[in-house]
Amino acid sequence: MAFVGLQSVGATTTECSPGKWALTFDDGPHPSISLEILSLLRKNNAKATFFVVGKNVADNPGILRQIYEDGHEIGVHTWNHLDLTSLNTNQIRKEIGSTVDVIYQTVGVRPTLARPPFGNTNELVRGIMKEFGLEGITWNVDSNDWRYAQEYHDSYEAGKFTEEELFSHLKDKDPSTTGVISLQHDVHEASVYITGEVIRGIRTKGFSLTTVKQCISGPNNSYTVPPAPTATTSSSLNSTVTIGNANETAISGTVTNTSSYTDLVTDSETVTNSNATLTPPSKYPPRV
C-alpha cells in the first residue's frame, strides 16, 4: 500500500491519508519564483512542503530561511538533482548528506523527508535515506506545471490555460476515499499561476491542505535537532564554508564531517574553505 506512517524511515510514501492534500514544490529555492510562491501561499493561508536542491540553497540561503520562517516544511531533493539510481553508494551519500548539512547550517534543523529526483529510487537509495533518518516521499498527482512552463517558455497568460488543463489532476479525486501528494515546482513562472488556481480547486473539492508530515502522521515532527549521519562519518573538521552569491549573506555553521562541497558543485559555483570554525545559526529554535 502506498500510504505508510512516519515510522517507515527509508520507505517511500506516495499519498496522504484520505481527505488531505499536500502541495509539494521541487527544485528551489529560486531567487524570484520561490518568493512569488511564498506570497501566494501566504495570501491563501496555506502551508506546503519544499523539497530543496542543496546547491540552490547554497546560492539562496535567505530564501530557505523565509520558507522556514513562514512555517512551511523543508525536505531534501539532493545537491545536484541527479538520478540517484545511477550513482554509487558514496556519491548518493554525498548528494543527500551535503544537502542535509546545508539545510542545517541555514535554519538550524535537520529534515526528516527526502524526495529522490525524478521519483527514481531503489533498495540502495532507500537504505541510504534510512541512514540519514529520512523518509522518501514521491507523489500520486503531477500538476504538470513543468510541461506548461516548457510549452509557454515561462511567458504565461491566464487565457492560455483552459479549465480542463488546470484541473485535470483534480478530476475524479474524492476526499472521502483519496489522499493526495501533488508535485509542483517553484522554479517556473507558470507554476505561480497554476498553483493559485489549483489551491482554490482543491478546497472546492473538499480537501484539507496540509504539509506532508501532517498528512501522513498528524504531528508536525518535520525536523530533528541532534546531528544526523553526515555524508562521511569521521572526526570533526574545523573549517569555514562560505556558500552563496554576492547578493546573499554567507552561511555559517559547524560541520562535523569531511565531505567537501567542492566535490558536489560545478565550476560556476563559489565554495571557499578557510580556517574558522562554524556554528549553526542560533536565531532559529528547534521545530520538532
Indicate if 26 belongs to the active site: yes
Give the per-residue pLDDT at 167: 67
Give the per-residue pLDDT at 164.
Answer: 66
Four-residue CA torsion sign, 47, 23, 103, 6? positive
Do 74 and 64 contact (CB within 8 A), yes or no? yes
pLDDT in tens, 185-218: 999 887 887 788 889 889 999 999 999 999 887 6
- Locate the domains of the chain by residue range: 12-224
- From 72, 77, 169, 185, active-site residue: 185
101, three cell numbers: 548539512
Is pLDDT of 173 > 90?
no
Decide if 244 contacts 250 (C-beta within 8 A).
Answer: yes
User: 75-126 pLDDT, tens per residue?
Assistant: 999 999 999 999 999 999 999 999 999 999 999 999 999 999 999 999 999 9
Give, in words, the CATH class of 12-224.
alpha beta
Asked if 185 is an active-site residue, the reply is: yes
Residue 34, pLDDT score: 97
Q: Point out the catalytic residue in the list 26, 27, 59, 145.
A: 26
What does the block give as the cell for 15? 499519498
- pLDDT at residue 286 above 80? no
Kindly indicate the confidence band of residue 39, based on its pLDDT and cuts at 50, 70 and 90: very high
The pLDDT assigned to 68 comes to 96
> What pLDDT score does 145 carry?
79
